[in-house]
Structure 1
Amino acid sequence: MNFRHLLVACSVVWLAGCATSPTTTPSDLAPLKPLTKAAPLSSTVVSLENTEDLWSRIRKGFAIPDLEHELVQEQEQWYGNRPDYIERMTTRSSKYLYHIVAELEERNMPTELALLPYIESAFNPQAVSSAKAAGMWQFMPATGTYFDLTQNAFRDDRRDVLASTRAALDYLEKLHRMFGDWHLALAAYNWGEGSVGRAMKRNERTGQGTSYTELSMPTETRHYVPKLQAVKNIIANPEKFNIELPPIDNHPYFQVVDIKRDMDVELVARLADIRASDFRALNPSFSRPTIFAAGTTQILLPWDNAKVFKRNLEAHNDGQYASWTVWVASNTMTVASAAQRIGMSESDLRSINNIPPRMMIKAGSALMVPRTSQHLNDVATHIADNGRIAFAPEVTSVTRRTPVKVLRGDSMGKLASRHGVSVANLARWNDIKPNAKLRTGQSLDVYKTVRVVASGASPQRSNGTKNSRPTITKKAAAPKVAQKRKAAPTKKQR
């Protein structure tokens, strides 16, 4: 089977196992000229002298000492009893493994680390844990910011294939320099460098050893390295576990392509002659229907389709490139007010920007809006890089009755003044005359207008993040081994 046919086969298998929700645009794009179809393999793929598959290359780069522990056998049995799960994971990983292996070799790091996303996310770049860790390397928001992973209203680089891999390897290198041992570095990646350091100091104080197996640690971290060792053993000798690994060519799956203007995801996919779901699998950091070139100058496309995209883009002279742009709220306002100013329905504005019920849009929020003659320009760099959407609970006015006591010496005028109401209203509310004599201790009703948060409104939240560098702290606990989309490994909040 040649590379092109294999690539198509792997893509079909992956698509069968992973559903992707397409994103719609407000209006149909103008008709395109006839598209160039993907060229034959010989015109787009360089020949390779090394014909070994990627699995062989990975095995040759194994360099972490094997962990001998009963938990490894438990994990081997768990994975070995689930060949369908292994097949789905490894097929999904075929899009990303070559890049990760190449990056590891460039840094002279063990290739076992290319298997870590199997443990973190089952190689799903769209995975999100209950603790808000995201991407195939499962970064928490604060840790992602620390490692320069942009998170704003339009993209989340914790999901980006290139950026998240760079950040994960940076972090693993840092941890290995810190501990001088890959097992401890992996434990710190999961549990937190501070937690591992403190566990080592506790053992040192009591004269105990400080290796991975000798430290006292949470159950999730205790199982973390055995999981990786089990996957390593299966990759090293799949026949022993009656596992058949899908073949992966020792060749890049994708190419990096430059873009110079805002473009709809659907248009990019059409020009590249691929499905939108295939595009999103390689570019999972884009959560919106339009890519803003000022914030993202590069995209990933399947190897065969990159040249197709470039040819079709050069020939694309009719119709618009982007159906959406960004409008920034000048002040805090209701969704209805914003929709009226923009010129779109309130329901559409809520839908495209994921605005919760009973929430107001805070000043400075960057909202996706249809690209019209009033909103025509490509999005500016400072908005594309820093755009955020922040909400505040809606506030409504209600009138509340409050009983008040007459104090010694009170008159109607003095009592009304003390509570900020008029004498006429005070008399009307209590069915007495405006000049009525009051008795000390007498109870009267006062009605006041107060502002309250709309019923059911959640606390303020924002899908943007500040550009600070927080101290990395311990993460939340992770789920059981059987879960496919695991919760945040402990590196995430550190």
Structure 2
Amino acid sequence: MKKFLLVFVTAFGFLHASLFMEPQYNDDVKVLQTLDIESSFLRDPIFLQLKNSLTTSKRNHYLKMLERGSLYIPTLRKMIHDNNIPQVFLYMAMAESNFDTHALSHAKASGLWQFMPKTAKIYGLKIDRYIDERRDPVRSTEAAIAYLKRLHRLFGKWYLAALAYNSGEGRVLRAIKRAGSDDLHVLLDEKKKYLPRESRNYIRKIVSLALVANDAEMCFSGEQSHMFNRTEGRSLVRVKVSGGETLEHIASQIGMSGNDLKLLNPQFNYSFTPPDEGAHINIPYSRLTRFKEVYRPGRQKNMFLVHTVKKGESLSKIAHRYGISYKMILSFNRMKRPVIYPKQELIIPVPKGSLHHYRVKKGDSIYKIARRFGIKVATLKARNDLKGNIIHIGDKLVIPN
């Protein structure tokens, strides 16, 4: 009788497991199919170990990543959906940067999608002293989507595109050639090591992150599982603003705190927009109507720029160049004493309309530029700290009004 009961209980256990696990298994297979991965991948032991750790030893870390990304996840998810690439790639950003917009690798890759400077510029991301669009959650996602689409056209399978994103196109092409196959199971062979360990585990990590999120209600309970959907409906929109305006000023006009606006715009190296031209910033979609109603470019009295101190410069000379008091420079840079040093960066508040910049073109001379803007050569040279008359194509000159 006991033996019969044991068999019955065991059989019931298997039946119970199949009733509750089969639907989830089917969902997991569907996720894999979007990446062109076969269902046998779900039996990969290293993948299973990674996935299990996210709901046990690394549970808190996973939830912290999710919390950090909550500002951007709805926007990223919509962009990915609208561009018809697998939703799993949302978790590529999670794998790349832990949803940290300021993440910086030893190899100088930066942002949510960990773009290297060279690749970033290929895909139109601006990097200069004022801005690094690799940290812009919207612009970097546009670039990542474009890059992934190109990789998919090259390799024909989404999992190969993901591997190439991580390890480079050449390395994946060489791995396929060595293996004589582009089958994922073959490329992930732990003995043959066609790909580096980091790359082999990269695709496993992305899928693990995605499947745990897909199975949030089973893996997490109560308030924790609610985290996966609580930010739905909150999305970002890009709007054009003036150059050299503080984020604090823009935020005050649309009813936001300056800190909240900075969180949505980590691409700016300073707390103001690049001075040379207008800039795009990210604001919540819920603030768009108010922005259109109240924002007017140039309402701020000063525009801001950054000056790098050169050898031999004094604070009074710099102040004269920009037509302001040296005390204003002290105040805006929170300096107690007027002591400066070469390569120091100073924030310069310039009254709007008091000057603008001109970039030297082919055929220009110091005399032609001075005549064009109706100012004396001596004034132009003084404002730009020029000791001689030599200028070069591409130089940026301050033009006082």
TM-score, scaled relative to structure 2: 0.67
User: Could you tell me how far 1:252 is from its partner in structure 2?
Assistant: 4.5
CA distance in 1, matches of 2:358, 2:263: 25
Larger radius of gyration: 1
What is aligned with 1:285? Answer: 267
User: Could you tell me how far 1:199 is from its partner in structure 2?
Assistant: 1.7
What is aligned with 2:86? Answer: 110
CA contact (8 A) 2:302 2:350 kept: yes
Call closer, same or farther: CA 1:345–1:241 in 2, change over 3 Å: same
**Counterpart residue type for residue 77 of structure 2:** V
What is aligned with 2:240? Answer: 258
For residues 130-279 of structure 1, what are the structure 2 equivalents within 5 Å? 130-204=106-180, 211-214=186-189, 216-242=194-220, 244-246=225-227, 247-248=229-230, 250-279=232-261
CA contact (8 A) 2:136 2:265 kept: yes
CA distance in 2, matches of 1:248, 1:154: 34
CA distance in 2, matches of 1:208, 1:182: 12
What CA deviation, in whole Å up to 9, does each residue of 1:136-161 have, x standing for no partner?
11111122122221100100011112
Call closer, same or farther: CA 1:241–1:163 in 2, change over 3 Å: same
CA distance in 2, matches of 1:119, 1:103: 18
Which one is further off, 144-153 or 72-81? Answer: 72-81
CA contact (8 A) 2:249 2:300 kept: no
What CA deviation, in whole Å up to 9, does each residue of 1:26-73 have, x standing for no partner?
xxxxxxxxxxxxxxxxxxxxxxxxxxxxxx9xx989712353311211
CA contact (8 A) 1:339 1:346 kept: no
What CA deviation, in whole Å up to 9, does each residue of 1:106-136 have, x standing for no partner?
3221111112111111111122223221111
Correspondence for 1:95 among 57, 63, 71 = 71
Coordinate RMSD, CA, aligned:
3.7
User: Could you tell me how far 1:346 is from its partner in structure 2?
Assistant: 13
What is aligned with 1:469? Answer: none
User: Could you tell me how far 1:183 is from its partner in structure 2?
Assistant: 1.9
What CA deviation, in whole Å up to 9, does each residue of 1:386-434 have, x standing for no partner?
xxxxxxxxxxxxxxxxxxxxxxxxxxxxxxxxxxxxxxxxxxxxxxxxx
Call closer, same or farther: CA 1:180–1:349 in 2, change over 3 Å: farther
What is aligned with 2:20? Answer: none
CA contact (8 A) 1:273 1:309 kept: no
User: Could you tell me how far 1:287 is from its partner in structure 2?
Assistant: 1.2
CA distance in 2, matches of 1:61, 1:255: 31
CA contact (8 A) 1:264 1:321 kept: no
Unaligned runs of 5+ in 2: 1-26, 320-325, 361-393, 395-401
For residues 86-485 of structure 1, what are the structure 2 equivalents within 5 Å? 86-204=62-180, 211-214=186-189, 216-242=194-220, 244-246=225-227, 247-248=229-230, 250-292=232-274, 294-314=276-296, 320-326=300-306, 333-334=310-311, 337=313, 339-343=315-319, 344=326, 360-361=342-343, 368-372=347-351, 376-377=354-355, 380=357
**Counterpart residue type for residue 217 of structure 1:** L
User: Could you tell me how far 1:351 is from its partner in structure 2?
Assistant: 6.4
CA distance in 1, matches of 2:275, 2:327: 27
Unaligned runs of 5+ in 1: 1-55, 384-465, 467-494
What CA deviation, in whole Å up to 9, does each residue of 1:1-40 have, x standing for no partner?
xxxxxxxxxxxxxxxxxxxxxxxxxxxxxxxxxxxxxxxx
**Counterpart residue type for residue 177 of structure 1:** R
CA distance in 2, matches of 1:338, 1:358: 7
Secondary structure at the counterpart of residue 151 of structure 2: helix
Secondary structure at the counterpart of residue 337 of structure 1: coil
Secondary structure at the counterpart of residue 308 of structure 1: helix
Structure with more of its chain in helix, by fraction? 2
Call closer, same or farther: CA 1:263–1:128 in 2, change over 3 Å: same
**Counterpart residue type for residue 230 of structure 1:** S
What CA deviation, in whole Å up to 9, does each residue of 1:190-239 have, x standing for no partner?
111111111222223xx896743245222211211111111111111123
User: Could you tell me how far 1:99 is from its partner in structure 2?
Assistant: 2.4
What is aligned with 1:449? Answer: none
User: Could you tell me how far 1:372 is from its partner in structure 2?
Assistant: 4.4
CA distance in 2, matches of 1:114, 1:99: 10
Secondary structure at the counterpart of residue 248 of structure 1: coil
User: Could you tell me how far 1:94 is from its partner in structure 2?
Assistant: 2.8
* Relative contact order higher in (CA < 8 Å, ≥ 6 apart): 1
For residues 26-41 of structure 1, what are the structure 2 equivalents within 5 Å? none
Which one is further off, 143-152 or 252-261? Answer: 252-261
Secondary structure at the counterpart of residue 108 of structure 1: coil
TM-score, scaled relative to structure 1: 0.55
